[in-house]
């Protein structure tokens, strides 16, 4: 196994351990005889911390990835970067929360989390949560202001989602066909701004499931049901030079971020 396939194997195992829906959808496509290629995996982290993108980036570059582009999400207070690999169609998308621009209440919850993260060695991208779980009360406070902050405070460093690269599918080479299949099997899709985000003119269209809901144990509230991870589907279009567009569309990604936004609701 190469370092790259080993990296994705471990990441996928960790992901499906809290995202049974992704595994079931994966099996659904496999049972249809479809080859499964990942378009990208996405990570979330804290800016201004010992796990900022600047510090995690080395692990991505060591795998052979090259920096492609940066993105800014004003409303969600996020910055992100995308990396591409010369030998793999799977991109890496990593975003970081500018948590020191959140409210004082949120900062007060996040600061002790940041203080628990040591510099050396820098945590692995699949290290999971390397701080004590927040109280359920604090989780809900974060959720109210930043779904992203709430998710990250519980789940830590791991894949937030994997993404099926629709272009590689044989029977369902269009996102609309994938959406039909998924809906026929009664999975709930994120419908914020429409089930299909983006247009052909953007060169990238995307859909995603709503995140799985799993039970997590909190010290102050016992087991509570919260959002874990979602599965995404992406179809890309050719640029003028005939190659597939590799970047991301901030307006679409902004809405995809909402896929983990069901909070404590079932």
- Judged by the rule CB under 5 A, the positions of this chain that interact with Ni ion are 42, 232
Calpha distance 62→57 (Å, rounded)? 9
Alpha carbon 145 to chain centroid, angstroms:
19
Q: How far is the CB of 73 from Ni ion (least distance, A)?
A: 12
Q: Which is nearer to Ni ion, 109 or 196 (CB)?
A: 196
Q: Which is nearer to Ni ion, 217 or 250 (CB)?
A: 250
Q: What are phi and psi of 165, to 5 degrees?
A: -85, 100
Q: Are 257 and 147 in contact (CB under 8 A)?
A: yes
SS (H, E, C) 135-147: CHHHHHHHHHHCH
Q: Which is nearer to Ni ion, 31 or 75 (CB)?
A: 75
Q: How far is the CB of 93 from Ni ion (least distance, A)?
A: 6
* CA distance readout (Å), 222 to 25, 59, 136, 218: 30, 36, 9, 5
- Which residue has 């779980």 as its token pair? 133
Q: How far is the CB of 206 from Ni ion (least distance, A)?
A: 7
Q: How far is the CB of 232 from Ni ion (least distance, A)?
A: 5
Q: Which is nearer to Ni ion, 114 or 229 (CB)?
A: 229
Q: How far is the CB of 253 from Ni ion (least distance, A)?
A: 6
Q: What are phi and psi of 89, to 5 degrees?
A: -80, -5
Q: Give the DSSP H/E element, type plus range, for residue 225.
A: strand 222-227
Calpha distance 44→53 (Å, rounded)? 9
Q: Which is nearer to Ni ion, 126 or 259 (CB)?
A: 259
Q: How far is the CB of 162 from Ni ion (least distance, A)?
A: 9
Q: Are 235 and 166 in contact (CB under 8 A)?
A: yes
Calpha distance 71→81 (Å, rounded)? 6
Secondary structure class of 105 (helix, strand, coil): helix
Q: Which is nearer to Ni ion, 95 or 141 (CB)?
A: 95
Q: How far is the CB of 42 from Ni ion (least distance, A)?
A: 5
Q: Which is nearer to Ni ion, 135 or 261 (CB)?
A: 261
Give helix then strand counts, H and E, for the chain.
Answer: 8, 9
């Amino acid at each position: 196994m190469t370092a790259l396939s080993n990296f994705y194997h471990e990441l996928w195992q960790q992901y499906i351990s809290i995202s049974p829906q992704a595994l079931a959808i994966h099996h659904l496509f496999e049972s249809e005889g479809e080859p499964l290629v990942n378009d990208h995996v996405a990570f979330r982290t804290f800016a201004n911390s010992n796990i900022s993108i600047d510090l995690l980036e080395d692990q991505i570059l060591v795998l052979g990835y090259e920096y492609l582009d940066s993105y800014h999400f004003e409303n969600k207070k996020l910055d992100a970067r995308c990396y591409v690999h010369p030998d793999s169609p799977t991109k890496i998308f990593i975003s970081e929360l500018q948590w020191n621009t959140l409210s004082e209440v949120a900062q007060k919850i996040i600061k002790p989390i940041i203080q628990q993260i040591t510099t050396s060695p820098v945590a692995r991208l699949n290290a999971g949560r390397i701080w004590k779980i927040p109280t359920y009360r604090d989780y809900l406070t974060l959720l109210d202001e930043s779904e992203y902050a709430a998710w990250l405070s519980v789940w830590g460093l791991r894949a937030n989602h994997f993404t099926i690269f629709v272009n590689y599918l044989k029977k369902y080479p269009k996102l609309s066909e994938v959406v039909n299949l998924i809906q026929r099997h009664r999975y709930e899709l994120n419908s914020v701004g429409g089930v299909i985000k983006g247009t052909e003119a953007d060169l990238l269209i995307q859909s995603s499931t709503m995140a799985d809901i799993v039970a997590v144990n909190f010290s102050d509230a016992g087991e509570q049901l919260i959002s874990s991870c979602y599965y995404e589907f992406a179809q890309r279009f050719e640029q003028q030079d005939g190659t597939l567009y590799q970047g991301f569309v901030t307006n679409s990604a902004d809405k995809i971020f909402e896929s983990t936004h069901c909070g404590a609701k079932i």
